[in-house]
Amino acid sequence: MTRRRRALLLLALAILLGGLAAANVRRREAALRRALGPSALVLVTRAPLAAGAPLAAAHPLLRALPRRWAPPDALASAAALRGARAAVALPAGAYVTAAVLRAPDAGGLDPAATLRPGERVAQLAALGDPASVVAGARVDVLVTRDGDAGRPGRTVLALQDAEVLAARPAPAQDAGDAQADGARVLVSLRVSVRAAVYLAAAQSFARELRVLARAPGDRGAVRGALAVDERLR
């Protein structure tokens, strides 16, 4: 075999291997995109923010990330921040969620001032009826999470007969999402430390939280665990 023919053969082999490698990379990228699912745009702070400071001072920007990892109450429009202030201190790079907003006219008694020893205030952004989820009402909290490792997703009755210390409608977001999901409320609940930790984790990792108002005077409790999976079992 001549040197020229050998060089052409090696060049063809290199092109073939390069094409196979590129195809393999494309397949891996496609598989990764399918595993991550659709993406979502969320607002992220670019500067640290003190509690009570205007959200605009954090110069939030939109960042794309997989929808399954986005906080359920993450905001994707700067319009929802108009006049709003931070309810808690936020570091740079924090997600701007409905739970950290304080309405421009927020005032009155601090819910934490009514706590008894051993109690905490759990702040949630959840699906709920703003007309019935109001301060002084008693509510149950449902948590829905996706399945993993072949197990089905399920909805559990996570908390029963919790007292609402404060509540208000969540800021309007994308109209299409609002119609699909339903009304949302920002609610502060009187809970135990254990329940506060669970609800904080659910707010970050669960797919959906729902607050159900109880009838006045209803203090009954469901005994035992109550859960329904995606097969409605």
> Both 127 and 200 in a single domain?
yes
The 10s digit of each residue's pLDDT in 32-80 is 666 666 888 888 999 998 877 888 888 888 888 887 777 777 787 777 6
| Structural domain span for residue 88 | 37-104
> What's 60's domain CATH number?
3.90.1210.10
Average pLDDT, the chain: 80
Question: What is each CA distance from 107 to 20, 30, 56, 87, 170, in whole angstroms?
Answer: 64, 50, 20, 11, 16
* 142 occurs within a structural domain: yes
Is 71 inside any structural domain?
yes
Task: Say if residue 107's pLDDT is above 60.
Answer: no
Per-residue model confidence (pLDDT) at position 108? 44
Question: Which sign does the torsion angle of CA 68, 39, 127, 51 carry?
Answer: positive
151 within domain boundaries: yes
* Confidence class for position 128, pLDDT limits 50, 70, 90: very high
43's enclosing H/E stretch is strand 39-44
- Would you state the pLDDT for residue 15? 86
177 and 134, same domain (yes or no): yes
Tokens of 26: 């494309």
Last residue of a domain, one of 57, 73, 104: 104
CA 3 centroid distance within chain: 64
**136 shares a domain with 85:** no
The pTM for the full model equals 0.55
Are 43 and 71 in the same domain?
yes
Judgement on whether residues 140 and 228 belong to the same structural domain of the protein: yes
**Domain membership flag for residue 28:** no
Kindly report the three-state secondary structure assignment for every residue of 176-211: HHHHHHCCEEEEEEEEEHHHHHHHHHHHHHCCEEEE
**Strand locations in 48-197 (E):** 61-66, 85-86, 101-102, 119-127, 138-145, 154-169, 184-192
The answer to whether residues 230 and 135 belong to one domain is yes
The confidence score (pLDDT) of residue 160 equals: 94
**Residue 136 sits in the same domain as residue 202:** yes
Q: Residue 205: CB partners within 8 Å, gap ≥ 6?
A: 145
Distance of CA 201 to the CA centre of its chain: 10
Q: What is the DSSP string of 24-42?
A: HHHHHHHHHHHHH--EEEE
Both 83 and 134 in one domain: the answer is no
Q: How many structural domains compose the chain?
A: 2
187 and 125 in a common domain = yes
Which is higher by pLDDT, 176 or 140?
Answer: 140
Answer yes or no: is 145 within a domain. Answer: yes
Q: Which residue has the higher pLDDT, 98 or 131?
A: 131
